[in-house]
Copies of this chain bind each other. A is one copy, B any other.
Amino acid sequence: MRQTIGDFLLRRLEEVGVRHIFGIPGDYNLELLQQMEDRGRPQWIGNCNELNASYAADGYARINGLGALIVTDGVGALSVMNGIAGSYCEHVPVICICGSIPQQSLDRGWLMHHTMADGSQDRFYRAFAEVTAAQSKLTPGNAVVEIDRLIMTAWRCKLPVYLELPSDMGCIVVEVPEAPLFLTYPLSDQERLKTCCQRIVARLQHSSNPALLLDIDADRFGVLDQIATLADHLQLPVATLAGSKGNFCEQSPLFAGVYSGANSSPKLRKLIETSDCLVDIGFRRVDSTSGVFTDNIPTNAIHLHGQSVDIDDENFQSVYLGELLSNLIQQTPPNPRRSAPVLEPVIKSSPSALSQTLLSQKEFWQSMQHFIQAGDLLVAENGTSSAGAAGLHLPCRSTLITQSVWGSIGYSLGCLLGTLLAAPQRRQILFIGDGSFQLTAQELSTIVSHELKPYIFLINNGGYTIERALLGRSAKYNDIASWRYTELAKSFSRTQEIETFVVQTSQELHAVISSPHHGLVFVELVMDPNDAPLALIRAMHAIADIDYGLGGPQSVRGAQITEDDERYR
């Protein structure tokens, strides 16, 4: 059959489950946007700016399995580099489509706006090669092959890709296949799969204290159900890293906690560090998720990756994670003995007495522990928000989204737009600090205009408290302008009502969260600039020692938020 390149691209995206596409119009992509408006699908979600669009596409992809955005050449594309690189770092499959300058201008040597206008070509394409897994510029000759290749690469590798559609190509008609595109992994090399599986089964059978440790790829490669099955089948304790918190049910008796090196409980450290058969999924040893390199993973740990496995000296390529886990479940005899719960049962402390003094981080997160429910989707910004959320004991079927490695402040608000559209039926809650909010604040307007209704808890502590724990506790560079946040939130719409609250005490917080609400709930929490979760303070002190060296400026007394404070006891 025959179809225009633009229509075929949009059709393919629809076939692989992309129901919303984010971005900003620009002259080089208007043709494609017009094709989308004419088709009626996927739905165009116009953002306030491109970076926010890339965050939204990332959040959408984390829940939906794939996300996409459309930008214009140069000015648009380069504005999403941070967001796309974040998707790369965090293993999120996002398809970045750039409506690029017309092919005729390249062929004729015409200098166009939104370029360097110096005769050079492909500069931005090359820049994107540094932050994406695959790139292509579409032509009538390659479009069909390349569109499928890029979508499949993004999905199979769980990494972003970059696709340029020259503005004069979208309406060109080409011969395209009628069959839809199905997302599938390749089959493993069966011989290697078999050998690899045997090795793991043998190790497990001879192990006296096996355990599983999940990093982000467990979620990204869609194997959480298989992991739950395997864990139950063998009664394996399961720990996660910070980035995969919530990927194994925290109410399960097999849940062992969030492993973070020296910051973990002694029991969890022992379980991981002395396991004679630790199997990890996608483990990466990064400062921010390893307790700043205080972890101690056994040298004989078995490392499962998306498409390969490392066991001792052996490396098995072309062994795909899902297929491997299925085989492991089939080939290991079930462990009939039910383990005792790994962790002491978490006793939900009764909410602390409501106070009329300034709300503390500790009080706030205690309240949140009671507020969150099974099925909730939580998004936590990098900073006191992610550190506080890391301390929550999550209910069943809840999801926590953070950027545990990339850590781009402002990400969470854009991300929330994406997760809201991907899972509109779920209750969604954002935790964000004022400093982070200021980077991407305008995207709240897109959330409001689509009548989406999350809870947003904005921690107003007058600046970048995560930095204050690193360096500059009382420095001006860590302060920000003091906005009227609730008035700002209301100003983003002339028609939609949003419910706003300013909360200064736990009593006021209780009043807000114990009342029913029907719209978007925006809560400004006024807190002390030097109040931060203890875990954050400790982590930032360790990072400062790496960042600036042991004798660096952070070692001067008073240079950092410290934990010698009543608040943290």
Interface residues of A (CB under 8 A from B): 24-28, 30-31, 33-34, 36-37, 44, 46, 48-51, 74-76, 78-79, 81-82, 85-86, 88-89, 102, 104-105, 110-118, 123-124, 126-127, 130-131, 167-168, 170-171, 284-288, 293, 405-410, 438-442, 445-446, 448-449, 464, 467, 470-472, 475-485, 487-488, 490-495, 540, 543-544, 546-549, 552-553, 559
With A116-B88, A448-B481 as given contacts, are A171 and B491 in contact (CB-CB < 8 Å)? Answer: no
State how many copies of this chain the complex holds: 2
> Closest CB of chain B to A64's CB: distance in Å?
21
| Cα-based distance from A25 to B409 in the complex (angstroms) | 11
For A79, the chain B residues whose CB sits under 8 A away are: 51, 81-82, 408
A124 touches B130 (CB 8 A): yes
For A490, the chain B residues whose CB sits under 8 A away are: 484, 487
B86 touches A34 (CB 8 A): no
For A485, the chain B residues whose CB sits under 8 A away are: 491
B552 touches A85 (CB 8 A): no
Query: Residue A406 contacts which of B36, B113, B171, B494 (CB distance < 8 angstroms)?
Result: B113
Minimal Cβ-Cβ distance residue in B for A86:
B75
A544 touches B81 (CB 8 A): no
A48 touches B475 (CB 8 A): no
For A25, the chain B residues whose CB sits under 8 A away are: 464, 467, 472, 477-478
B477 touches A37 (CB 8 A): yes
| Cα-based distance from A464 to B543 in the complex (angstroms) | 44
Query: Residue A491 contacts which of B30, B37, B467, B484 (CB distance < 8 angstroms)?
Result: B484
Counting from the closest, the 4 A-B pairs by CB-CB distance are: A75-B408, A78-B82, A488-B491, A78-B81
| Cα-based distance from A326 to B287 in the complex (angstroms) | 58
| Cα-based distance from A484 to B328 in the complex (angstroms) | 58
Minimal Cβ-Cβ distance residue in B for A109:
B285
6 A-B pairs, CB-CB below 8 angstroms?
A: A48-B438, A48-B441, A74-B82, A74-B89, A79-B81, A484-B494
B113 touches A33 (CB 8 A): no
For A124, the chain B residues whose CB sits under 8 A away are: 85, 130
